[in-house]
Amino acid sequence: MPEENQASLRLKLAVIIAFCTLPSLAEGLAIIWGERHGYTGKALRDGLDFWAGGFLFLHQQLSVLFDHAAYQSFLQGMYGKLPYHLWSYPPSYGLIAAAFGWLSPLQAVLSFDALCLALLGFALRLAGKSGWFIAAVLLAPATLENAMEHQNAALMTALIGGGLLLVQNRPRLGGVLIGMASFKPQLGLVLPLYLLRRAPLAFCYAALAALALAGGSLWAFGPAAWAGFLHYTSPIMSNVLLTGQPKDFAGGLISVFATIKPLAGLHAAFAAQGLVSLACILAGLFMRSVPAMLILSALASPYLHVYDLLGTSLAVALLVEQRLAQGGFKAAEPLLFFLAWFGPGLLPWHPAYAHLVPLLLLLLLASAMRRGGVGACDSSPVQPGSPVSPAGRSPTPAPPESTAPG
């Protein structure tokens, strides 16, 4: 491709990427306003749970972590009245959060966000992606939404997406990355059979990494942490799907289950999600395309939020990279890719978009399967003409920078 055409194409893609950031940037301004006007607790959003979980695990305050009233009282003692908050992860994720628990809440979440973005960029670079490609993914609306929620989608995408891209050429590293994502198993339902068939060595390393992470949390926090997760946290999270309560959790779901439930009821939603999840898991046996695997991961999960679409955004970037290398797009593919890329930033402003997510994922999957897809790993440099390639109680210690009155 002539250098002039390369520059023109890069400019067009840069304009599209910049345009797609606008809804998220507007949301970010509202969050900054809230931070500056004394609404720090609300502005921290899900990051408050990340910090609180890490802080309480670090100081062995499991009785607070696994008691809703005590947990809410702990947070409200710092920031006053807050929306519903809940620690919703296994102790293996607590091991990660505890590494930030010694910081103040704002320092902890910002440090975590920055490190996750850096890890995502590094994983993509290891997979041979260019600076243009990495910059596009880091500026994706799903990435921005994840950062504003202070969620862990950037970490999950680095582990699962990076692992899938590395799994053939670097099976040990790819397997370890995927195994480290085991703290959010609903996004990894399709991976075991895929790894077992395509990269058995990576499967072994993934299993070892998952066991090591769980074992490390057992050693650090004791069996009471896992007992609390099994008898308290897990039932509450199941109740989100069964009853739709609390609304702060269930209201943001964008899965097949969440789309079918208001239309046909709970049993039909479970049946539909079950069939889709089973089909996605079995499809992993035959799939070779990394974008398709990332899309299947989202479709298979009954518990899916807007920030979890960061893995899908990576799939879109990989598909665009492939189409440019092949010389063009099929009919309607540019529109499909644009809607899938732009949607996560639009969803907080237009929640009705959530009902379109399963359909968009199915169309993306069809696109990824129809045109083959990106190989499991290509660590060689991409074509220079490609502009995008290359989540009896002892006294609780006072938290740092507590704003509790008196």
Residue 385 lies in a domain: no
Question: Residue 33, exposed/middle/buried by CB under 10 A (0-12, 13-18, 19+)?
Answer: exposed
Residue 45 tokens read as: 């959003």
Residue 162 lies in a domain: yes
Q: Total domain count for the chain? A: 1
Cα separation of 300 and 88, whole Å? 20
- How many other C-beta atoms are found inside a 10 Å radius of the C-beta of residue 223? 9
Residue 73 corresponds to which amino acid?
Answer: S
- How many other C-beta atoms are found inside a 10 Å radius of the C-beta of residue 72? 16
Cα separation of 20 and 312, whole Å? 15
Single out the residue of 188, 170, 203, 177 nearest to residue 378, CA to CA: 170
Cα separation of 112 and 234, whole Å? 24
Cα separation of 305 and 156, whole Å? 13
Residue 243 lies in a domain: yes
Place of tokens 């243009």: 132
Residue 230 lies in a domain: yes
Q: Average pLDDT per run of 10 along the chain, which is 406 residues long?
A: 64 87 85 74 85 95 92 90 88 96 94 97 96 95 93 96 95 97 94 94 97 96 95 87 73 88 91 96 92 96 93 96 84 92 87 86 92 45 39 52 42
Please tell me the pTM assigned to this model: 0.88
Single out the residue of 354, 352, 376, 171 nearest to residue 288, CA to CA: 376
Which residue range forms the structural domain that includes residue 256?
3-26+111-370
Residue 103 lies in a domain: no
Residue 372 tokens read as: 């083959």
pLDDT value at residue 390 = 37
Characterize 96-127 residue by residue with b for buried, 16 or more Cβ atoms within 10 angstroms of its Cβ, and e for exposed: bbbbbbebbbbebbbebbeebbebbbebbebb
Residue 394 lies in a domain: no
Cα separation of 331 and 270, whole Å? 34
Residue 392 lies in a domain: no
- How many other C-beta atoms are found inside a 10 Å radius of the C-beta of residue 268? 13
Question: Residue 383, exposed/middle/buried by CB under 10 A (0-12, 13-18, 19+)?
Answer: middle
Place of tokens 């703290």: 183
Cα separation of 141 and 134, whole Å? 14
Residue 102 lies in a domain: no
Cis upstream peptide for 246 (omega within 30°): yes
Place of tokens 């920030």: 307
